[in-house]
Structure 1
Amino acid sequence: MEITLITGPAGVGKSTLCWEMSLQLATVNVAHTVIETDELDRNVSAANLVLPGGVRRTGRR
């Protein structure tokens, strides 16, 4: 397994680069995934987070 980590300050084009790389990999049928922490933040509600051991975290961030 190979991992490419893309880092940098806000607004420099990390997400744009990820989606362009994903498009190019898909075009040549290379299996891959993109994990973008901004999208995780938008889609994982802290109010519904279940921690190890089944402990449920409640409240807002």
Structure 2
Amino acid sequence: MDARNPPRHLIAELMAQLRLPINDRAIRRAGARAEWCARRDVPPEMDDIFAEISSI
């Protein structure tokens, strides 16, 4: 096996394990996950909560 040209099955196996965002759905999920991680420690805005309650 040449280190510069690994077999295709090894590349496919690596891609499957990495779960890289390689299609539109995966890219949207990765963006949503990144946004959630950025905001998970920020408390919710009370105005948003009260607006949701008042519209019920």
TM-score (structure 2 length as normaliser): 0.31
Q: Which protein has greater RCO, CA pairs closer than 8 Å, 6+ apart? A: 1
Give 1 or 2: higher helix fraction. Answer: 2
Give 1 or 2: higher strand fraction. Answer: 1
Q: Which has the larger radius of gyration?
A: 2
TM-score (structure 1 length as normaliser): 0.29
